[in-house]
Structure 1
Amino acid sequence: MVVQKFFKLVEIQTKAASMIPLLLGTVYALFRFHEFQAWHFVLMLVSLLSFDMATTAINNYYDYKKAAKKDGYGYEIHNAIVRYHMNPGAVVAVIVTLLLIAVLAGIALFFKTGLLVLLLGGLSFAVGILYSFGPIPISRMPLGEIFSGLFMGFVIIFISAYIHAGEKLASLTLQGGTVLLQVHLAEVLWIFLVSIPAVLGIANIMLANNICDLEEDLENKRYTLPVYIGRTHALRLFRVLYYAAYADLIVLWFLRVPLLLLVLAALTLIPVRQNTRKFIAEPTKQFTFALSVRNFILTNAARIAVLGLAVVFTIR
């Protein structure tokens, strides 16, 4: 029962949003640079998963403390603190423990890799905390989709490729009091283009969450993107972003991924389209929100498989 409460508090079912970018960046490093550092991967996995769980717990805790109304809209079901009558002090202890694990693993990774990981990791930690905490959290503004998409999509993929490839991507050094940053712009641009499905997929998870919580957010004065643009436009944006996510297949073709593999990845558009229609027909937290997570997994797991098979073909 304790494990069930913990999983609900950290919303374990949404952790694919951070684990898949980690895997995508790793397999990209294997495909593009033929590099893999196992210990670096383990440290980033521990740090990333712990921090992702911590930020979700912070978000639930902050919603609990700030909510003007703690019943209705399914709030008493999907907020773990209310549903399981959790002790707020115990929730804070869990959050602190997860953050401590994330920071320690992140520092160990920094010592193994370099200053750039410290800079990007620290920036990601700051955005993650500010997403749910502070006078005006990012999650309560119409910026949540942009920040979550870019940082959990592109930045995580970049870091997870960098910890394997290192200076083949970029370097940040301190020489005599001068900070020297060197970036291989073409390689970073390739990574950004390859990360499009992750960026847009994560943005759509957040968008779907905000669409489902529209009435509750209005009640609790959370002015998210759907509050500003309305449900109709938010649902239209939700659909368009999935189609745009498939633009990366052209990029993978330029990177010489076999065309047959790209065709197989493109076929995931069929179930993604079906799931999108179901969500648009009935956008609810209880019944259809999980479809946005499923779409994210479908599109990005296909890319991971495609790049993984391309690695095998290259080795052979």
Structure 2
Amino acid sequence: MNIVSFLKLVEIQTKVASVIPFLLGTFYTLYRYDNFNIKNAIIMFASMIIFDMTTTAINNYMDYAKAIRKEGYGYETHNAIVKYKLNPRLVRLTIYIMLALATFLGLLLVKNTNIIVLLVGAVSFVIGIAYSFGPIPISRTPFGEILSGLAMGFIITFLSIYIHIFDLKILSISFSNLSSISINLNIVELIYIFIVSLPLIMGIANIMLANNICDIDEDIVNKRYTLPIYIGKENALKVFKWIYYIGFIAIVAGVLLRILPIVSIVTLLALKIVQKNINKFNKIQTKKDTFILAVKNCVIMNAFYALTVLVGVILSYI
């Protein structure tokens, strides 16, 4: 396996879906809490990227292993294991190594923070692995969109905030003895973080939804019963459109609640580009021609959004 085939196996171009939540969480922490821990940020970033690559590699491996129809639908080109004739045993070994490294870095982050990072990180790991692995992988069910959106859009954003402010006790667990556990949480702050992460949840969920819309015919053959198969393509396209609108509404709500800088309202300018891409996707839905529009929409909308929060940080220091 060379570097080109490895990067294709882990679909390195999709890792922006992890990087943007991390950046948004970091910028939001600086804006709202004026706090930053560089050591924790570096460890989390490395663990996050490696684990994201791991889950993608697992997904590609399981698609390869469980494929019923192995020709057509671009199968020979879009799966790295087939395209580069990778040894399945080497692919499995690569997955194990990446998973072990991501786990080690995650435990190191827990050592620097507290048990909340362990618990939330464990949930993320379970979702990430169960997404592609097991008797019924999440990616083969109608729940793939919402769980991928929550895992990457909310959990990554939450952790990228929490690792800097874990001592502020917006969420904490304490053990007074073996039979007594106390959970403290600041419900308002947690709701605020959820609102801030909603545009990311929606954008990432729509990448999965667009992928499943494009793959309806192939998924039926391969017995992957995804959301578009349950609700139909027409309804799936309506959901695809409204998911973006909810993300923009969340940004407006964040500005009105004063948890986001007023400059974040400028993100609404991206709506024109997003709507144009929605219209294009409504006309034709294929991996080759229009799937990339969902990725572009997520990046355009949320990169713009994260940058406005960064601008808010800069303005707060001036």
TM-score of the superposed pair, with normalisation by structure 2 = 0.96
Query: Which moves more between the two structures, 178-187 or 26-35?
Result: 178-187
Partner of 2:176: 175
Residue range with higher mean Cα deviation, 162-171 or 40-49: 162-171
- The answer on whether the counterparts of 1:194 and 1:251 sit within 8 Å (CA) in structure 2 is no
Kindly provide the CA deviation profile for residues 160-213 of structure 1, in whole angstroms up to 9, marking residues without a partner as x.
100011133221233322332211110000000111100110100000111111
Structure 1 runs of 4+ with >6 Å offset: none
Aligned residue for 1:296, secondary structure, equals helix
Residue 235 of structure 1 corresponds to which residue in structure 2? 237
Report the equivalent of 1:199: 201
**Counterpart position of 2:41:** 41
Partner of 1:185: 187
Identity among equivalent positions (%) equals 47
Partner residue, 1:96 = 96
Q: CA deviation at 1:263?
A: 3.8
C-alpha contact 2:264 2:309 (8 A) present in aligned 1: no
Measure how far apart 1:256 and its partner are.
5.9
Q: Give 2:252's aligned residue.
A: 250
Could you list the runs of 5+ residues in structure 2 that have no partner in the other structure?
A: none
Q: CA deviation at 1:258?
A: 4.8
Asked if the contact 2:68–2:222 (Cα under 8 Å) also holds between the matched residues in 1, the reply is: yes
Match of 1:81 in 2: 81
Partner Cα separation in structure 1 for residue 58 and residue 176 of structure 2: 38
Tell me the TM-score normalized by structure 1.
0.97
Question: Superposition pairs for residues 212-231 of structure 1, below 5 Å?
Answer: 212-231=214-233
Equivalents in 1 of 2:260, 2:106: separation in Å? 32
Contact 2:140 2:225 in 1 (8 A): yes
AA at the equivalent of 1:236: K
Write the letter of the residue equivalent to 2:272.
Answer: I
Letter in 1 for 2:208: M
Match of residue 15 from structure 1: 15
C-alpha displacement at 1:151, in angstroms?
A: 1.4
After TM superposition, the structure 1 stretch with the greater mean CA deviation from structure 2, 197-206 or 230-239, is 230-239
Which digits, 9 at most, give the CA deviation of each residue in 1:72-107, with x for residues without a partner?
A: 111111111111111001100111111011001000
Pick which of 114-123 and 167-176 moved more: 167-176
Aligned counterpart in structure 2 of residue 289 of structure 1, from 266, 291, 301: 291
In structure 2, the residue matched to 1:304 is 306
> Are residues 188 and 263 of structure 1, via their aligned partners in 2, closer, same or farther at CA, if it must alter by over 3 Å?
closer
Residues of 1 paired with 2:253 and 2:38: CA distance? 27
CA deviation after TM superposition for structure 1 residue 215, in Å: 0.7
Secondary structure, in 3 states, of the residue corresponding to 1:195?
A: helix
Give the unaligned 5+ runs of structure 1: none
- The residue identity in structure 1 corresponding to 2:67 is A
SS at match of 1:174: strand
